[in-house]
Structure 1
Amino acid sequence: MTRFGYTLMTEQSGPKALVDYAVAAEGLGFDFAVSSDHVFPWLDAQGHAPYAWSVLGAVAHATERLELMTYVTCPTMRYHPVVVAQKAATMALLSDGRFTLGLGAGENLNEHVVGERWPAVDERHEMLVEAVEIITQLFTGEFLSYQGDHFRVDSARIWDVPGTPVEVGVAVSGRRAVENFAPIADHLIATEPKGNLVQQWDAVRNETALPASRKIGQFPISWDPDPDAAVQRAHEQFRWFGLGWPVNSNLPSTESFTRATSFVKPEDIQASIPCGPDLDAVVQKVAPYWEAGFTDIALVQIGDQRQQQFLDEAAGPLLEKLRAAAPKD
């Protein structure tokens, strides 16, 4: 059965509002909530970037059922893998096992703040492989010393660990990433509905007799009773979305994103993101994800301005429509 999630978009809302939205999402019946983990918003117009882990800790105590996940954390520059393992284990305990650790190779936008050079993509993936190895070994609660090409760990141990290790999802976008991470992660994360990516992931895991994975995607919408206002808000705050990951991961600042998206027109946004009150249009746009084999789909409601109204008026009916249209097994 396809599961539907709500995105805690830290780039567009403050910390207290995010906790309130998570509580509302649980009440509406969303299956899970994912949180971005940024130091910067993508564009200045979004205007926020609270610390995701503090927000998630608060959400864990304010909710009872909602599964939680980072979407995604980069465990290679701004955070050392040992620190990420400690945070994730603590989140799993605070949430009574409702937490999944979503990891990715990161974006220059958020990682440059520690003053290190931004590595090329192949090196970033090598770093992420080592990070996943370190994190998953630390989830055992045993001491770990590790010597890799990119990371060293000296007699580290996570003292407070859940009885069941935290499951790890990794963001992938191509065959090489699938080959690297399908054998060492639990779940696939992707932002495009690529059926071949899902098939490749499953094939690699089947070769090594690993259990079935969740395939977790994300899709933005701009719900608003006024279609013109919906388009304007999506253009103002989410026009970066269409640049693609090779571009998004390398731009270093909100100014860079502003300049890189100066050519994007409102009508370009309308072509890719459903804007306005039509919930059936949202279902039509989300369908390619379950058709590609995704098991979990997190929705992003663009902008803080209509977030509460979306939850109050549209999210419940939208969930009903999505569940009616999605596969049941």
Structure 2
Amino acid sequence: MARFGYFLSCEEHGPVELVEQARMAEQAGFDCLWISDHYHPWNDQQGQSPFVWSVIGALSRAVSLPVEPAVTCPLVRTHPAVIAQAAATSAVQLGGRFRLGVGSGEALNEHILGTVWPEASVRLDMLEEAVQLIRRLLTGDQISHRGRHYVVENARVYTVPEETVPIDVSAFGPQAAETAARIGDGLITMAPDAGLVERFRRAGGESKPVAGGLKVCWSADRCEAVRTAHRLWANEQLPGELAQILPSPRHFEQASQLITEEQVAASVPCGDNPDEHAKALSAFVDAGFDAVYVSQIGKEQQGFFDFYHTNVLPRLRG
């Protein structure tokens, strides 16, 4: 049976609010947690972006659910040797309830140090080397490494978990899915794409878990929910590689002017129809996903959790 998790949005909420939402998610009957890792929000209306590793530390004490960053980019802004230490500490704090989600990132977050933002094929190559480096450091052994993209000298992570940390890899296209199958312990993607899942399975991911995520906007007023989703997350509807190459929230705001409320309403479950919400999550299950994570857009968090606890999760599990 598929698991259903809650996706904590660091772009919309501060650290205290995120921890409280995690508590509400556990009380509502969600199975697990994702949390986004951003340096910037996608636009100024979202308005937040706390340091994810501090929030994960707080989550380890606040809830008993598994936690995974979805996803961290260990390429440019943060060196993979540092991500290895952060992941090891998080795994120790969470006592076996931690997975590391990684991906090739977006210029929005990763270009801030003034480095060149590589093209997609180079980023995938960097990701493969970064994952290898993280796995070696998670053993607790001292290592030195001189690769194509990264150098590490005499590095050892002393605080490591008893069991290795599973590393899931984000992918949105066929080449990335094959890379995820080869280097990852699972696949993360954001659309119920059965073809992508099949490609991942054929490339070596036969028994590895596949997880997906989506956003919804619960409200008793559907029109208000559509307006909220459009105001905060119109960027979700931008096509192609724009999400990976636009460098600032201002640029996303400019591009999002092309997205209409009607486009958002057609793509995001909005309002309080439980069948619409359940259908959107079931599409992932039908496409072969093992876990689905849902994120509520906007401030109406308690109403969302009550609605899912009473009306949506029972439908999905029934």
Q: Deviations over 1:283-319 (max 9, x none)?
A: 112222111111000001011x211221234444321
Counterpart of 1:327 in structure 2 is none
The one-letter amino acid paired with 1:307 is Q
SS of the equivalent of 1:102 reads strand
Matched residue count: 318
| Seq. identity, % | 40
Counterpart of 1:285 in structure 2 is 280
Instruction: Give me the whole-angstrom Cα distance separating, in 2, the residues matched to 1:290 and 1:313.
Output: 20
The one-letter amino acid paired with 1:268 is Q
C-alpha contact 2:180 2:186 (8 A) present in aligned 1: no
1:253 partnered with 2:248: yes
Instruction: Give me the whole-angstrom Cα distance separating, in 1, the residues matched to 2:137 and 2:51.
Output: 23
Evaluate the alpha carbon distance shift between residue 14 and residue 281 of structure 1 in structure 2; reply closer, same or farther with a 3 A threshold. Answer: same
1:224 partnered with 2:219: yes
SS of the equivalent of 2:182 reads coil
Q: Deviations over 1:160-217 (max 9, x none)?
A: 11111000000012221122231221000011111121112112226xxxx7111010
The normalised TM-score by structure 2 is 0.97
Instruction: Give me the whole-angstrom Cα distance separating, in 2, the residues matched to 1:13 and 1:237.
Output: 12
Counterpart of 1:189 in structure 2 is 188
Evaluate the alpha carbon distance shift between residue 188 and residue 310 of structure 1 in structure 2; reply closer, same or farther with a 3 A threshold. Answer: same
The one-letter amino acid paired with 1:122 is S
SS of the equivalent of 1:114 reads coil
C-alpha contact 2:11 2:46 (8 A) present in aligned 1: yes
Q: How far is the alpha carbon of 1:266 from its aligned partner?
A: 0.7
The normalised TM-score by structure 1 is 0.94
1:83 partnered with 2:77: no
Q: Deviations over 1:64-107 (max 9, x none)?
A: 2x010000000011110010010001001101110100000011
Instruction: Give me the whole-angstrom Cα distance separating, in 2, the residues matched to 1:314 and 1:195.
Output: 25
Q: How far is the alpha carbon of 1:61 from its aligned partner?
A: 0.8
C-alpha contact 2:14 2:49 (8 A) present in aligned 1: yes
Instruction: Give me the whole-angstrom Cα distance separating, in 2, the residues matched to 1:40 and 1:315.
Output: 31
* Equivalent of 1:262 in 257, 262, 272: 257
Instruction: Give me the whole-angstrom Cα distance separating, in 2, the residues matched to 1:254 and 1:177.
Output: 25
1:275 partnered with 2:287: no
The one-letter amino acid paired with 1:189 is I
Moved more, 120-129 or 239-248: 239-248
The one-letter amino acid paired with 2:263 is D
Evaluate the alpha carbon distance shift between residue 245 and residue 28 of structure 1 in structure 2; reply closer, same or farther with a 3 A threshold. Answer: farther
SS of the equivalent of 1:162 reads coil
Two-structure CA RMSD over aligned residues (Å): 1.3
Instruction: Give me the whole-angstrom Cα distance separating, in 2, the residues matched to 1:14 and 1:91.
Output: 19
Instruction: Give me the whole-angstrom Cα distance separating, in 2, the residues matched to 1:316 and 1:247.
Output: 38
Counterpart of 2:302 in structure 1 is 308
The one-letter amino acid paired with 2:225 is A
Structure 2: where are the runs of 5+ without partners?
none
1:236 partnered with 2:231: yes
Matches within 5 A, 1:93-112: 93-112=92-111
Counterpart of 2:40 in structure 1 is 40
Evaluate the alpha carbon distance shift between residue 177 and residue 318 of structure 1 in structure 2; reply closer, same or farther with a 3 A threshold. Answer: same
SS of the equivalent of 1:182 reads helix
